[in-house]
Chains A and B, each alone.
Chain A
Amino acid sequence: MKKISFLLLFIITISLFSCKKDFLEVPLQSSAVTEDALATKGGVQKLMVGAYHDLTGMSLSSRWWTTSGTNWQWSDVTSGDAYRGGTGGANDEPEGVSIELYQSQPSFTYILNKFKAVYDGIARSNDVLRAIEKAPDMTPEEKDEARGEARFLRAHYHFQGKIMWNKIPFVDEQVTDFKLSNQQDIWSEIEADFRFAFQHMQETRPYRGQANKWAAACYLAKTYLFQQKYDQAKPLLDSIITMGKTAQGVQYDLNACFQDNFDGQYENSKEAVFQIQFSADKEAFGNNSNLGEAANTPAMWQVSSWFASWKQPSFNLVNAYKTDTNGLPMLDTFNVTNMDNDKGLESWESFVPYQGTVDPRLDWTVGRRGVPYLDYNYGVPNPGKDWINSQDFGGPFTPIKGIYRFDQQGVYSEYYTNGYLLSSAVNYNLIRFADVLLWAAECEVETGDLNKAREYVNRVRKRAKDGCTVTVDYTTGYPSANYMIGTYDHAWSSQEVARKAVRFERRLELAMEGHRFFDLVRWGIAAEYINTYLSVEKTRMNHLSNVQFTKGKNEYYPLPQQEIDLSNQDGKPLLQQNPGY
């Protein structure tokens, strides 16, 4: 009897532990959701935000400086405008130094990280496009506008890759097999995306940081320029200049002050065509701020005991801001002598800053001894060497654009926290209206209307002259330097002269903003220009001895070796390495 009851008990136990059918259906755990959960209007918007995030370049968990959306490593440092800076030596990111010296290698993590950051932006844009197709609660108009926005972002990321590597595959939302060849030029696909975005996005958008119709138009124009399609760019630029508006519906115009473009208080202004919306969120560990340039801050001890002082302006760049008696740049002679500087001087030794005339934009672009550096150092002028890790390696100058003001700390910067740098939350201009005006000037030069070109250039120079044009001593209000800037009041004598002036103006206006190297390459003058630059600069900077820009090679960066290896199909890589690597 007992046995039987135990047997029964046993059977009951078995049946208790027998499982229901859904025992093996385990939903996703942790913080993840499935695709279906996001296939709604709200989901599309959230995926769109995710796609925008990649503008910062901060999608990889470390090595922010390699992926920064501002391209400083890839453009400012390699264009003759800046040195890599820092401490030099083998322990300060040797790959970054090699890139400065035109010795990039396919195996560099810098290269791979940048490649990944670019294509992650593309992948996220494509995810948005796929979700739009599935979202049942969106109207056709809403869908088209969202498609336009996603394709705008996708084209932006492709554009970034295109100018870095030239030969890259275009990935759209239809791609499922990612073994792709890079033997097709992708400008037409980039153009198509921007054109679609231009046609389908509204002029005004709900959020300030969003791309709009005119941002797409500007980027389309930029795409034309990079293909030397000046006839197509010109009418588009004309209409942008007359009709273009920001996402808030404000007519494009230059800001009153040049430096407003680099001041957190004036973000998303009328000059801002498309900005990376950096922000200082505590939860993001700085990943939504301009962490990629955090190490470019001078080594100012009241901010922190340590900064890398990377991206230090070159002598050549500083010299470019010398002006002649008319306040015009010394196009041919600017680099013959160096502007007075404190290289080799200790901070306690006396120093008199350059007394010649300079373009006022110099002191909003370059930090130099004897001139106040924003509002840092409590108004006492920049002490020079103390703020620099190694003058031998980085020279005597420091960058300013994108650095938040000291009194904005915590508002336009991350708070200082353990282990994190005080990265700036000041927006970065991917495209600003001055940029657009100078493109238009280029188009006019190339298509023949030199006066129109001069008009655009003068509009830019006039703003530099009239609006808040001088840096003042923060405490006394007196000018810190002998500023002199004028407009081109005489017609340019030839297309050649005009071209030179326009290109020089781009440098003065947009220096250290990540454009220069790519401009040099699209103008086809990179090798000639940079080798000329090096021939003089190596006499000033020890580390540039023996450095050479190889024509036909260094115009583009090498594709990452790992990507080539992974593109293997039937024993042959589909991705072809760029020439010379």
Chain B
Amino acid sequence: MKFKFQVKGRIPPFLNYCNNHYKEWIMKSSCVLLFLGFTSLQLLMARDGKGQRLSDMKITVEFKKETLKSAFSTIERMTDLRFAYNAEQVDKYKDISLQKGTYTIQSLLDFLLEGTTLNFRKINNKIIVYRKEEAAEVKPVLLNAFVENAADGGTVKGVVTNDKNEPVAGATITVAETGKATAANAGGEFLFADLKPGKYRLQVSAVGFRPLEKEVTVTNSQTTQVSLALVASNNALDEVVVTGYSKQSRRDVTGAVSTISADVIAQTPVTDVSSVLQGRVAGVTVDGQGGPGNEQVVRIRGIGTLGDNNPLYVIDGVQTTGGLNMINTNDIESITVLKDAASCAVFGARGSNGVIVITTKRGKTGAPKMEYNSYAGYELPIKSIKLVTPQQYADAYWGYLKNSGLNLSSALYGNGATPVLPDYFVSKKGSPTFAAVKEGDAIADPSLYNFSTYRIMKTNKQGTDWFKEVFDPALTQSHQLAVSGATDKSNYAVTFNYLDNKGILLYSYFKRYSIRANTEFKVTPWLRLGENLQFAYTQGNTVSGHTDQNIIADIYNTSPLLPVYDIRGNYTGTNGAPGELPGDNLLLSRVSSKNAKGYSARLFGSAYIEVEPVKNLVLQSKVTIDYAPYQNRLFQDTMPQVRFPVTSLKFSEFSGNSTEWRSTNKISYSVTIAGLHKINAFVAYEASEYNYRGLGSGSDSVFYNLPGFMVTSTGTGVRWQVSGNADKTTYVSQFGSLNYAFGDRYLASFTIRRDGTSRFTDLKRYGVFPSGSLGWRISGENFMQGARWVNDLKFRASLGTSGNDAIPSGLTVSQYYTNPAYTYYDLNGVNNAAMLGFALTQIGNPLLQWEVNKTVNLGFDGSFFNNRLSASFNWFNRKTDKLLYQPPVTALQGDADAPYQNIMNFTNKGIELELGYHPASKRKFNYDINVNLATYRNNVDYIDGKPETYILGGLYARSINLSRSAVGKPVGSFYGWEYDGMIQQGDSAGHFRFKDISGPNGKPDGKVDDNDRTYIGNPHPKLTYGLNVNLYYGNFDASVFFQGVYGNKIFNYWRAFTEWPGKLGAGSLDTWSPENVSGKLPVYSNKDLDDDRPSTFFVESGSYLRLKSLQIGYTFAKIKGINKLRVYAQGYNLLTITNYSGLDPEVNSGAPGSTGIDFGGRFPVAMKLLFGVNLSL
């Protein structure tokens, strides 16, 4: 029997009634039947009855301590009568005995039901057994329904729900033994009739859920009720993929696409969308940037260009490449990563680095739902910086003096054979300006203390731990309140989020307040309107960047002998101190800049109107806006005691705003011809404009360090700084797409896009980016029907192009600028009013054109073994041609910025594999496993037409480049000498030996010079991977997530500045000396100081495995009035296994030429320990 659901509109009120009272009914599935009966004509047509009366029918039976149920079965076996009953009501009647004899059915039933609460009624050949008090409600419609269904054989009825007890519409239910399949209706309900008695396995699958299998027993004439609760899946093969301009069923996708669902996002307590991606998607690498609110470095399939490698983010259709920390991750419904050019081609100009499509949550049909999600906990430093002790540092200095043939004499440590640590420092005006003295010295008499003129500090001989002084566990918390709901005509979702993420560095923090409202209205069947809008406001204070110039780098540069406070409790400083006392009070520096704050807001969203004048022809007009004002304030307090005294309060402020609008008009049409040819197509026209303006101003000699004085008018006006800048870029694009599917088996997709950009001249302005892809669902072919273990298998092939113009605007012409500091000159000799001058600041290149990215992608998506195993595989060859880059040019050209050029081609080849294992749900214990692996190999194919040309990169602290990109090598390969051990004999004993590998003629020439440099390391990983295991036991759930990289090298050149002879890092003491010939570092002296040249000595393995997240949750059993209540505890960044000696192996700054170079000073990634709650009403 075939059922056809014709459900429209709202759920009828009586069905709700059924839901509330279902236990009271004779049969569990009665509601379904009632509903079906009401809505299906077929069901309403009762057949003619067979006129036999029960009192006329006789059978011969005997019951011996049987149950009521088995008695009914016996009667069924011997007659053509079929019973319908609620098993619960019937089960309790046992021990029925009856002497063998011949009875009429009427008397038999009277006997059986005597003394029970049950009654019966015959309709046709059905015997309906019901509770007496329900009699009134059983008729008449219900009975008709029963009549219809209680056909020969048994019936299975059920409802499919998710873990929130909401119906899952469209779920596919298959009877494994017969292959019969049906789909759940809008209420999640389904029904199989006419099943022969026996045991059956029901297999359930639905988009976004783990497959489920349940055994049912079917009895003749009985209706077996099943309730199937699905568990959401993290990596389902069947789902809807939002690709920005359109939606596609995952089945029909022919490009390389990965997705992350809201559940995974919920497992990741991060401030930034990009952090969610780390280790989750094969081919996406994320380098963590510690520090509150700092954005991560995200790369899809490695480095695709030499400039901006950031992928394009499309958030509800709004395109952006930055400011991701402004997006509340809790708002996200799903993330789709488009990896190959064919998938990205529709984004044309901006899709070449891959596209990350983010869809935010929308209201779902049903009553208004409120959710509250929150977590709070601590962030902790993972690893601390170890410094030498003051005595060790002094001893090392003495060694230096000896090794250099210098007198043993120091302002700090005296003139003795061994250095003696002073007891006091005195920093004062007059003579001497700084003194290091012993206990009892008259200079250190506390009564002389005066903060302005005479500061006395007691030295810290144990050593001040500057790391501990400025790093502390920090509180982090997030609260989110969401309300959503929908009717058939509209849906809405409103969320509010508050995030307060304090950083482990003192006074660093990131706060975000965001509100989002998504709504959609179906005004008429042919008119739809919708919007989504987010407003976020953030403020923060953080330290970012990869530099040797910030407070984190300074921890290595600050003498531990300096105490934090002087004898009167004021902060110390090294004003007047000699060089043997390096650094300055870091805590003071942190305290004095605690009022340096950045504020920003972002209004981000889109609105559309959609008209469907003819069925399936949709005209859409959409406008998106991204408005982002920001303001940075710097309030620098006075610090008269530091080495470079700051005697004037300084306030400066920079503010600006960027506005980007985009208007898209689209006509789309979809049609299915003859049930076989499915066609989706659209054409669109788009224009966009980006505008930025900024303004800065500052003032010195501010009167008071009070918040009210944080305006630029409070300075005494000795010096004012005013600066301003602006930027603008425009685009015009036409594009279209055609998707064709033949019977679900043969898929084809074509996209073409033409982009025009203001960044190039009209000669090279437009780029056309076509792409095409094909798919073959082999599992749909007849010859595969025998392979029952294959549920779905699709092969894909795609070839596509996309473009890139991600360079600053205005680079086609040479730019001349004027700036008092750099182009003015006092030609008139008046001394205080230099004349205005101009100078070249940027060399232009009118021939700039589109960088083009071509990707071939082959792969398959499949699900096997009853959907338990899902797999997705890609092989890709991504070729970037005409790379836009600003190669470093010779200073002979002047100090103006080098021109950008289309200079280079390179290739990334690789494979990606995502595997998911989702065993069928068991009663109590369930689990699933997801693994992803990716590898790519980068190779430079062409530079400038000359095979020997290379491009320098990785300039750091010295004027020598640490990396090179050359033909045949990966981009940004490390370049330097090969360390060959320590010289033990002769004049050079204690210095490094480097290999003589070449000379001017290409042969070793017996001396080590520039010719001996070679490629000494590949910064690109051989493998990146992630492993996620979710466990469920009863109400408990747990997830473990590992992530790692393997096979990359890190250039730990930061060591040369921290753990080198004479530096303060704890590792700096292992220097060579005649007494310590096994010392790893060169002798500490003032001679032959080039041992720290770039060499393999500094190249280390960057492999690591990180226990990124461990979460344990408990969901409370149903509490009245509460839909769901879950609490959890989570650890994040719990454990890192690595041989890397630096602070953290995630060192990438994002600049291709600096990949894998540890510049130090990076805000370390923190460990988080959190507790959270998810509540929904």
A residues with a Cβ closer than 8 A to B are 2-4, 6-7, 10, 13-14, 17-19, 23-26, 28-35, 37-38, 43, 46-53, 55-56, 58-61, 86-92, 94, 98, 101, 103, 105-109, 111-113, 115-117, 119-120, 122-124, 127, 169, 171, 175, 178-180, 207-210, 264, 267-268, 277-285, 287-288, 299, 301, 304-306, 346-348, 383, 385-386, 389-390, 392, 411-412, 415-419, 425, 427, 542-543, 545-546, 560-573, 577
B residues with a Cβ closer than 8 A to A are 404-407, 409, 411, 429-433, 524, 526-527, 557, 575-576, 578-580, 582-583, 609, 611, 613, 619, 621, 636, 640, 643-648, 650, 663, 665, 685, 687, 689, 700-701, 718-720, 724-732, 756-758, 762, 765, 809-810, 813-842, 888-896, 946, 948-950, 952, 955, 957-961, 1010, 1062-1063, 1086-1087, 1089-1090, 1093
Given A47-B837, A120-B891, check contact A24 B576 (CB 8 Å).
no
Contact of A209 (CB < 8 Å), options: B579, B819, B825, B837: B825
Inter-subunit contact A116/B891 (CB<8 Å): yes
| Inter-chain contacts of B430 with A (CB < 8 A) | 301, 386
Inter-subunit contact B814/A124 (CB<8 Å): no
Inter-subunit contact B894/A124 (CB<8 Å): yes
If over half of B's interface residues share one DSSP class (helix, strand or loop), that class is named, otherwise mixed; here it is loop
Inter-subunit contact B1087/A91 (CB<8 Å): no
Contact of B821 (CB < 8 Å), options: A112, A283, A383, A416: A283
Contact of A119 (CB < 8 Å), options: B809, B891, B960: B891
| Inter-chain contacts of A88 with B (CB < 8 A) | 578-579
Shortest CB distance B970–A (Å)? 18
Provide the bound-state CA to CA distance between A10 and B725, in Å. Answer: 38
Inter-subunit contact A112/B959 (CB<8 Å): yes
Residue of B nearest to A111 (CB): B959
Inter-subunit contact A127/B840 (CB<8 Å): yes
| Inter-chain contacts of A33 with B (CB < 8 A) | 815-817, 838
Inter-subunit contact A346/B837 (CB<8 Å): no
Shortest CB distance B442–A (Å)? 13
Provide the bound-state CA to CA distance between A554 and B228, in Å. Answer: 87
Max chain B C-beta neighbours (<10 A), residue from A111, A120, A299: A120
Max chain B C-beta neighbours (<10 A), residue from A92, A281, A389, A411: A281
Inter-subunit contact A87/B406 (CB<8 Å): no
| Inter-chain contacts of B819 with A (CB < 8 A) | 31
Max chain B C-beta neighbours (<10 A), residue from A89, A117, A385, A427: A89
Shortest CB distance A321–B (Å)? 27
Max chain A C-beta neighbours (<10 A), residue from B404, B429, B557, B823: B823
Contact of A124 (CB < 8 Å), options: B818, B835, B839, B1086: B839
Provide the bound-state CA to CA distance between A7 and B955, in Å. Answer: 58
Provide the bound-state CA to CA distance between A332 and B797, in Å. Answer: 89
Shortest CB distance A448–B (Å)? 40
Inter-subunit contact A24/B757 (CB<8 Å): yes
Contact of A19 (CB < 8 Å), options: B404, B687, B726: B687
Question: What are 24 A-B pairs at a CB distance below 8 A?
Answer: A17-B621, A23-B758, A29-B727, A32-B810, A35-B813, A88-B578, A91-B557, A112-B891, A124-B840, A178-B892, A209-B825, A209-B827, A277-B827, A281-B824, A284-B820, A305-B429, A347-B431, A390-B411, A418-B701, A542-B406, A542-B407, A545-B406, A569-B948, A577-B1010
Shortest CB distance A393–B (Å)? 8
Residue of A nearest to B842 (CB): A32
Besides A3-B611, A305-B576, A418-B650, 4 more A-B contacts (Cβ < 8 Å) are A92-B579, A207-B829, A281-B833, A288-B821
| Inter-chain contacts of A171 with B (CB < 8 A) | 892
Contact of A6 (CB < 8 Å), options: B527, B580, B646, B820: B527
Provide the bound-state CA to CA distance between A210 and B835, in Å. Answer: 12
Inter-subunit contact A105/B611 (CB<8 Å): no
Inter-subunit contact A107/B611 (CB<8 Å): no
Provide the bound-state CA to CA distance between A306 and B94, in Å. Answer: 102
Contact of B809 (CB < 8 Å), options: A26, A175, A179: A26
Inter-subunit contact B891/A563 (CB<8 Å): yes
Inter-subunit contact B579/A34 (CB<8 Å): no
Provide the bound-state CA to CA distance between A58 and B822, in Å. Answer: 7
Residue of B nearest to A545 (CB): B405
| Inter-chain contacts of B689 with A (CB < 8 A) | 23
Shortest CB distance B798–A (Å)? 30
Max chain A C-beta neighbours (<10 A), residue from B432, B579, B725, B818: B579
Provide the bound-state CA to CA distance between A563 and B891, in Å. Answer: 7
Provide the bound-state CA to CA distance between A567 and B579, in Å. Answer: 38
Provide the bound-state CA to CA distance between A122 and B757, in Å. Answer: 35
Provide the bound-state CA to CA distance between A61 and B841, in Å. Answer: 13
Contact of A10 (CB < 8 Å), options: B619, B813, B825, B830: B619
| Inter-chain contacts of B827 with A (CB < 8 A) | 49, 52, 207-210, 277
Shortest CB distance A361–B (Å)? 25
Provide the bound-state CA to CA distance between A122 and B891, in Å. Answer: 10
Given A31-B818, A35-B813, A35-B814, check contact A50 B838 (CB 8 Å).
yes
| Inter-chain contacts of A46 with B (CB < 8 A) | 818, 836-838
Inter-subunit contact B960/A49 (CB<8 Å): no
Contact of A23 (CB < 8 Å), options: B557, B609, B687, B837: B687
| Inter-chain contacts of A567 with B (CB < 8 A) | 890
Inter-subunit contact B829/A208 (CB<8 Å): yes
Shortest CB distance A181–B (Å)? 11
Provide the bound-state CA to CA distance between A162 and B758, in Å. Answer: 43
Residue of A nearest to B401 (CB): A542
Residue of B nearest to A560 (CB): B959
Provide the bound-state CA to CA distance between A306 and B179, in Å. Answer: 88
Inter-subunit contact B832/A563 (CB<8 Å): no
Inter-subunit contact A386/B431 (CB<8 Å): yes
Shortest CB distance A394–B (Å)? 11
| Inter-chain contacts of A26 with B (CB < 8 A) | 728-730, 758, 809-810
Contact of A568 (CB < 8 Å), options: B646, B950, B955: B950
Residue of A nearest to B575 (CB): A305
Provide the bound-state CA to CA distance between A425 and B830, in Å. Answer: 10
Shortest CB distance A267–B (Å)? 6
Contact of B1090 (CB < 8 Å), options: A24, A105, A304: A105
Provide the bound-state CA to CA distance between A288 and B719, in Å. Answer: 15
Inter-subunit contact A58/B821 (CB<8 Å): yes
Residue of B nearest to A53 (CB): B825
Inter-subunit contact B893/A123 (CB<8 Å): yes
Contact of B817 (CB < 8 Å), options: A32, A210, A561: A32
Inter-subunit contact B815/A34 (CB<8 Å): yes
Contact of A32 (CB < 8 Å), options: B730, B815, B888: B815
Provide the bound-state CA to CA distance between A3 and B840, in Å. Answer: 58
| Inter-chain contacts of A425 with B (CB < 8 A) | 831-832
Provide the bound-state CA to CA distance between A28 and B758, in Å. Answer: 11
Inter-subunit contact B820/A89 (CB<8 Å): no
Inter-subunit contact A108/B959 (CB<8 Å): yes
| Inter-chain contacts of B958 with A (CB < 8 A) | 107-109
| Inter-chain contacts of A117 with B (CB < 8 A) | 895
Inter-subunit contact A419/B644 (CB<8 Å): yes
Residue of B nearest to A283 (CB): B820
Residue of B nearest to A566 (CB): B890
Shortest CB distance B427–A (Å)? 9
Given A53-B823, A91-B557, A123-B895, check contact A415 B719 (CB 8 Å).
yes
Inter-subunit contact A564/B820 (CB<8 Å): no
Provide the bound-state CA to CA distance between A385 and B434, in Å. Answer: 12
Provide the bound-state CA to CA distance between A285 and B700, in Å. Answer: 13
Inter-subunit contact B894/A122 (CB<8 Å): yes
Inter-subunit contact A279/B826 (CB<8 Å): yes
Inter-subunit contact B894/A123 (CB<8 Å): yes
Across the A-B interface, the 8 shortest Cβ-Cβ residue pairs = A89-B579, A123-B894, A49-B837, A571-B948, A279-B826, A112-B959, A50-B839, A32-B815
Shortest CB distance A164–B (Å)? 13
Inter-subunit contact A90/B1062 (CB<8 Å): yes
Provide the bound-state CA to CA distance between A94 and B726, in Å. Answer: 40
Inter-subunit contact B611/A280 (CB<8 Å): no
Inter-subunit contact A107/B816 (CB<8 Å): no
Provide the bound-state CA to CA distance between A277 and B834, in Å. Answer: 9
Provide the bound-state CA to CA distance between A267 and B280, in Å. Answer: 69
Inter-subunit contact A91/B411 (CB<8 Å): no
